[in-house]
Amino acid sequence: MLRSQNYQTPSGSLAQSSDRKVLGYITASLVVLPFLIWYIDGSVKGFILSVQSEWGLRVATAITAMGYGLADAAIAGMLLVIGLKAGRPREALAGRLGLFAVVVSSLSGQLFKHLFCRARPLTEKSGQFFSEFPCLGKGAGFISFPSGHAVTAFALAFVLARAYPRYMLLFYGLAGLVALSRVYLAKHFPSDVVAGAAVGILAGWIVCRFAAFSPVHGHT
């Protein structure tokens, strides 16, 4: 619960005590990524293809919809509108920064996708990096790394977790389900979604850390 405040903090209520955790996660992701790419991705792909079912694909498709950039932007936008209309500063702030985080993370994710040009799991050059470099205009089959769904889902989850720390596990849990759904659908490798989560969290942190905030008043 946020209490009324008579001062303005440099980074607001959404960027407190997170610097070390974020940088620690990013560092851990960079360390583990080579191991995932070399030893885990191929094995997981084979396992997933062996356990996929019609029911599972339907569930994963429904879950993965939560990670579309437009869906995440819509969630943040609705939160912003609710906050402005109802006079709830916390919701307005979370919605505004959530929208910024989704946009920043999505653009960053697209930049990395077209830089690394990794072939998706079910393509002929499955898992290869720089497979069609430059891959701009070569189709969605060569932009696997990082997972765009994971990028935007974790960016929004980061902002919401800062705004509503009581529900942190819920927000990150939903983002995690989105990431897992991408692997189950054989659209991405485990390393793709780990990298996507790292990019998304970093984007969310940057938005919350360096944006100019207004004082937050009222209760949730």
In this predicted structure, what is the pLDDT of residue 7? 33
Share of the chain above pLDDT 70, in %: 88
CATH code of residue 64: 1.20.144
In a domain, 90, yes or no: yes
pLDDT surpasses 50 at 190: yes
- Give the total number of structural domains in the chain: 1
* Residue whose C-alpha is closest to residue 101's, from 208, 179, 173: 208
When pLDDT is cut at 50, 70 and 90, the band that residue 135 belongs to is: confident
The tally of CA atoms less than 13 A away on the side-chain side of residue 35 is 6
H helical segments located in 124-189: 148-163, 168-184
pLDDT of residue 15: 47
pLDDT of residue 18: 63
Contact 8, 213 (CB under 8 A): yes
Close Cβ partners of 210 (under 8 Å, ≥ 6 residues apart): 11
Locate 56 and state its tokens: 């599972």
- For residue 18, being part of any structural domain is answered with no
CA distances from residue 187 to 37, 75, 93, 179 in whole angstroms, order as listed? 15, 24, 33, 10
Structure confidence by residue, pLDDT tens digits, 140-177 = 899 999 999 999 999 999 999 999 999 999 999 999 99
Q: What mean pLDDT value characterizes the chain? A: 87
pLDDT in tens, 26-67: 899 999 999 999 999 999 999 999 999 999 999 999 999 988
Q: How big, in percent rounded to 5, are the helix, strand and coil portions of the chain?
A: 70, 0, 30
Strand ranges for 70-204 from DSSP E = none
d(CA 59, CA 88): 35
Is 185 a domain residue?
Answer: yes
Residue pLDDT, tens place only, 1-24: 333 333 333 344 444 556 778 888
* 173, two tokens: 């849990």
The answer to whether residue 217 is domain-embedded is: no
Residue 6 lies in a domain: no
Has residue 187 been placed in a domain? yes
Which two three-digit tokens encode residue 156? 């929004």
If one counts every other C-beta atom within 10 angstroms of the C-beta of residue 65, the result is 12
- Measuring CA to CA, how many Å separate 168 from each of 104, 175, 202? 21, 11, 16
Does some domain include residue 3? no
Query: Average pLDDT in the 179-207 region?
Result: 96
- Domain range for 168: 27-210
pLDDT in tens, 167-188: 999 999 999 999 999 999 999 9
Tell me, what's the pLDDT at 210?
A: 79
* pLDDT value, residue 31: 94
Instruction: Decide if 12 is inside a domain.
Output: no
